[in-house]
Each structure stands twice: as structure tokens, then as C-alpha cells.
Amino acid sequence: MLGLYIHIPFCKKKCNYCDFISFENSEHIIDNYLKFINKEIKLVNINDYKPDTIYVGGGTPSILTEQQIGTLFKIIYSNFNCGNIQEISYECNPESLTETKLRILKDFNVNRLSIGLQSFNN
């Protein structure tokens, strides 16, 4: 079983307990970050990589706009052989999740949302 993890290191606010690399109030650099993810994947040239699972974690991936979520999944689907995918997970915070984002995630075959325990404070 092969997995692909993509880290989205952006948050509205950095949680005190979080040990993951993340940056708050950095929405202005997300588009460039996505361009660099695409560039890095192409540099490694791993088109033969056939992941069974994809996990988009963070940070808070649901902070991405609808367009940015679409861009991210287009990068994934254009650079990897996704014919064997069994599970696509996407970390979310209810605060930054909308019905439109949920529809987009469904359109890109996301079949698992990960909502952190800290969300119970919202």
C-alpha cells in the first residue's frame, strides 16, 4: 500500500498545542505554495507512483479557497496515477468549511474528512 501526503501549512490561527509546521495569516502566499508543490512534484518525476491513499493535512487545508482546492486536486490528478485510490482524506476545520467546498471535495473523490478534536471548541 502506497500513500501520498500533501502538507498545507496554513492556518487562520496557530493552536498552542500544535507541533506541526504551520503559518497563520499567510493566505496571500497560498497560490505560490501550490505552484511550488506542482513544480517539486514535476522535478521528482514520479508519474509511475500509484498511491492507494491520499492525505491532505496541515495546518488547515480547508482554509484554501474553492479555486485553490480545485488547483490542488488538479495537480494531484495530473501528476500521479490515481487509478488505485481507495481513500482520499482532507483535514478540515468547520470554521473554514462551506457547502461549496464540500461539493468540490466530493467532485474530486474525497471520501474522508478529518476534523480535529479542537473543533469541539467552535
- Between residues 95 and 102, which one has the greater pLDDT? 102
End-to-end alpha carbon distance in the chain: 36
Mean of pLDDT over the chain = 87
User: What is the percentage of the chain residues whose pLDDT exceeds 70?
Assistant: 82
What does the pLDDT average to over 60-64?
94
- Between residues 55 and 79, which one has the greater pLDDT? 55
Task: Please tell me the predicted confidence (pLDDT) of residue 13.
Answer: 72
Distance CA 46, CA 59 (A): 25
pLDDT over threshold 70, residue 116:
yes
Among candidate residues 57, 66, 54, the one with its CA nearest the CA of residue 116:
57
Task: Please tell me the predicted confidence (pLDDT) of residue 12.
Answer: 78
CA distances from 61 to 5, 45, 114 (A): 12, 24, 10
pTM for this predicted structure: 0.88
Task: Please tell me the predicted confidence (pLDDT) of residue 28.
Answer: 81
What does the pLDDT average to over 14-26?
66
DSSP-assigned letters across all residues of 23-57: EES-GGGHHHHHHHHHHHHHHHT-TT---SEEEEE
Domain ranges of the chain: 3-10+21-115
Quick one: cell of 120? Answer: 469541539
Q: Which fold has domain 3-10+21-115?
A: Rossmann fold (3.40.50)
pLDDT band (50, 70, 90) for residue 36: very high
